[in-house]
Amino acid sequence: MVRELHDIAAHRLSGISLMASVVARQTASAPGEARSGALEIRKQSNAIPDDLRRLVGLLRGVGHQDEGVKSLDTLPGLIETARPTGARVDFDPRSDERRDAS
C-alpha cells in the first residue's frame, strides 16, 4: 500500500516539477502558455489528494465515503486517465497466484 501511495504522489509531483520548470522559462517569452502551464500545475497538484483518497478508499472497501473507485472494475478507467500524462502503466488483473502459475 505504501509503495502505491508513494508511486501516485511521486508521479504527479515529478510531472508538476517538470511543468514548473517549463513555466519558469516561458514567463517572459510566452506568457499565455506560461499561464496555461500554471493552471495545469494547479490541476495536477489538486489531483494528488484525490488520487490518494481513491486508493485508500479502494483498500478500505465498503463504507468509505469516496465513491471514485468502487471496485477493481473501475481501475482500467483510472489507468487511462494516467496514461495521457506520459505515465507507463501496467495492469494485470490476475491475482498473484494466477500470475505465478503462468
Is residue 87 one of the residues assigned to a domain? no
Q: Quick check: 2 pLDDT over 60?
A: yes
pLDDT tens-digit readout, 64-101: 454 455 666 777 777 777 777 777 777 777 766 655 66
Q: How many domains are there within the chain?
A: 1
Helices within 1-102 (DSSP H only): 2-29, 31-60, 75-82, 96-101
Q: Is residue 97 part of a domain?
A: no
Q: Say if CB 53 and CB 65 are below 8 A apart.
A: no
Residue 62, pLDDT score? 47
Number of neighbouring beta carbons within 10 Å of residue 9: 14
C-beta separation of 26 from 33 below 8 A:
yes
Within a domain: residue 98? no
Query: Does 72 map to a domain?
Result: yes
C-alpha cell at 11: 508521479
Is residue 95 situated within a structural domain?
no
Domain that holds residue 18: 2-78
Against a cut of 0.85, is the pTM above it?
no
**pLDDT for the residue 69:** 55
Task: Give tens-digit pLDDT for 17-53.
Answer: 999 999 999 999 999 999 999 999 999 888 888 888 8
**Backbone CA torsion sign across 56, 62, 64, 67:** positive
